[in-house]
Amino acid sequence: MLELPFDPPVQKIDLPEFNRQGVQVFIKREDTIHPFISGNKWRKLKYVLREARQLNKTHLVSFGGAYSNHLVALACAGAMFGFRTSAFVRGEEVNNVTLGLCKTWGMQLQFVSREDYRHKQELFDAHYGNNTNVLMIDEGGRGTLAMQGCAEILNEVKGFTHVCCAVGTGTTLAGLAISAAEKGMVAEGFCVLKNAEGIAEDVQQLLHHQTPFFMHHRFYFGGYGKADEGILQFISSFASSTGILLDQVYTAKMMLGIRTLIEEGYYQEGSKILAIHTGGLTGLLSQW
């Protein structure tokens, strides 16, 4: 149970704008792991689901916004592996592709006000406090077990100087940083939230301040969930010249960030960059 059928392939990005200043860029296609438990969400859930089994939990309860890729992944994985799933969803009741998929896999959704959502533990305790069958999973699946799963993204990888990923909670970056340090690579995160310098501290805490990483804070393009015309155009030109779909919330911002940094001469000649495609394509489908 819960093993990946294959290690996702690494592909070169053969575009002139990613091949200048003596730099080369490759992309690890974690998005190909599964259509809906895609990218880092599978990596993040792997050990959490194992723990749920070991503790004989039958019902997984989590939290997220109305566009949460984590909830889609959890709903699908729950159905596949025989767990009941429920989620507290932030904000007023809405219908969209993300939540429609969650419901299709049998996830029970409960919409809660932004104010109530801020107090997650209280919410959980009020609804499930006495229920020993239930395992609470934090927003975005964040945490130490999730970080351990993300460290495995680099298991088979060698020969790169840098590994790059988009940053939401920073859990994926923390996992990559652990493996990158062992392999002599630099781990760089591209934060997709505005004014979110505090996330670097969350990452440091997960890593017990022992492992180096770097986080860029310039490439949020308007802020979390915002996508201007430039981002959408970039997604379209990237897709039409490589065949690879990026999502507007995370991966397109990372790739644009990398492209900008190469343009600016940030990476030394000879750098070999591995960008992680963390999936998230439900977000792209949700916007039309």
Q: Which of residues 93-132 bind ligand PLP (CB under 6 A)?
A: none
149 binds ligand PLP (CB under 6 A): no
Name the segment binding ligand PLP (CB under 6 A); options: 18-26, 55-63, 162-170, 214-222. Answer: 162-170
279 touching ligand PLP, by CB under 6 A: yes
Helices (H), 118-247: 120-128, 144-151, 171-183, 199-206, 229-242
Determine, following the binding rule CB under 6 A, whether residue 78 of this chain makes contact with ligand PLP: no
β-strands 84-90, 59-64: how paired? Answer: parallel
Beta-carbon contacts of residue 169 (< 8 Å; ≥ 6 apart)? 139, 140, 142, 199, 202
- Out of 24, 34, 37, 40, name the contact with ligand PLP by CB under 6 A: 40
For 129, counting Cβ atoms within 10 Å of its Cβ (0-12 exposed, 13-18 middle, 19+ buried), the class is: exposed
Distance CA 107, CA 123 (A): 17
Which position among 148, 179, 211, 278 is part of the footprint of ligand PLP (CB under 6 A)?
278
Residue of 85, 148, 172, 211 interacting with ligand PLP (CB under 6 A)? 172
Binding to ligand PLP in span 236-255, by CB under 6 A:
247, 250-251
Query: H or E element: which one contains 60?
Result: strand 59-64
Per the DSSP assignment, residues forming a β-bridge with 90 are 112
Contact residue for ligand PLP among 64, 78, 149, 168 (CB under 6 A): 168
Amino acid identity of residue 180, one-letter, is A
Q: Does 191 bind ligand PLP (CB under 6 A)?
A: no
Q: Which residues bind ligand PLP (CB under 6 A)?
A: 39-41, 69-70, 140, 166-172, 247, 250-251, 278-280
